[in-house]
Structure 1
Amino acid sequence: MPVTASYRAFILERLLLALPDVRARDMFGGVGIYAGTMFFALIGNDVLYFKVDDHTRPTYESRGMRAFRPFGEGGEVMQYFEVPADVIEDTDALRLWASAAVTVARRAKQRKAKRVG
C-alpha cells in the first residue's frame, strides 16, 4: 500500500480546504486520515478511500468506485471506497463526501461503544 509523498501532500491539502482539523497518520504502509478523533479515510497505493456504510455505499457504487482491499482482489473487502477524482478536485463536493464519511465513522464508533458498554 505504498503512498508517495506528493500524493499524500496533495490529498491533505485538498482535505484541509474541505474540513477542519484533518490529520494523517502512517499505518501499515498506507495513511490513515482523521477529522478530529474520527478515522474516516485512508490512502493506499495513491488512491483516496472514504469510509462507507449501507447509506453511502450506493453513491460510490453508482460511480463505479471500488472497495478497498488491503490484500488484493481476492482478499477481504473493507468498508472504504475509492473517492472519484472529480470529487477530490471540487472543494464543495469534497466537503460533502468527506463530511458524509465522517458521519459514517461517528455512527460506527457509537455502535461499537453501545456494544462494549
Structure 2
Amino acid sequence: MDAEDLRDIFRSLGPIHIRRMFGGQGVYQGEIMFALVASDELYLKVDDESVGLFRDQGSRPFSFQTRDGRTTLTSYWLMPESALDDPDEAAGLGKMALAAAQRAKAAQVRKGRSTDPGRRPRKRPSEPAT
C-alpha cells in the first residue's frame, strides 16, 4: 500500500502524512498516529469505545513477536476489507481511529507522560538531582 493509496482512503480526514517505522509505515494526522501499515495490511487505532466494532466485523489486532518469542498484541486492528472499497466506510473508520488515538494521547498527558520525545522526564522529589 503506497502513500497515494493511503491519502485516497483517508481523504475525508484532511492532510495526512506517512512515516516509515519498523519495516512498515505509520499514518499520521498532525502528530497523532492513527493507523499503521505492516505487511501490506492496514491497521487502525482502537480503544475500549471502538474495539467491539472491529471484533464484530471479524477483524484482528496487529501483533508481533518479541525477541524472546512472546507475541505482543497492539491497539491497532485490521481495517475490514469492505472499507478499502467503500470511501464512506473508510471515512467513518478513519475518524473513529483518529478519535481513539486522540483519546490515548490525552490520557497520556493526564497521567503526566509527555508525548514529546525531546522532553526530559521529570524527577521525582525523592530522586537526587544530577
Q: TM-score range by the shorter chain?
A: 0.7 to 0.9
2:80 to 63, 77, 84: 84
Instruction: From the two aligned structures, give the one with the greater strand fraction.
Output: 2
In our comparison, the structure showing a higher alpha carbon Rg is 2
1:58 to 36, 47, 52: 52
Percent of aligned positions with the same letter in both sequences?
Answer: 30
Give the one of 27, 30, 39 matched to 2:24.
30
Aligned residue for 1:71?
65
Q: Displacement, 1:101? A: 0.4
Q: How many residues end up aligned between the 2 structures? A: 111
Shift of 1:11: 3.3
The TM-score, its normalising length taken from structure 1, stands at 0.86
1:20 aligns with 2:14: yes
Which secondary structure state, in structure 2, belongs to the residue aligned with residue 64 of structure 1? Answer: coil
TM-score by length of 2: 0.78
- Structure 1's consecutive aligned runs of 4 or more residues displaced over 3 angstroms after TM superposition are none
Distance 1:10 1:65, change over 3 A: farther
RMSD, aligned α-carbons: 1.9
**Match for 2:76: what amino acid?**
Y
Return the offset for 1:85: 1.4
**How big is each residue's C-alpha offset from its partner over 1:25-73, in whole Å with a ceiling of 9 and x where there is no partner?**
000101000012210000000100000001100101111111000228x
Q: Which has the higher contact order (CA 8 A, sep 6+)?
A: 1
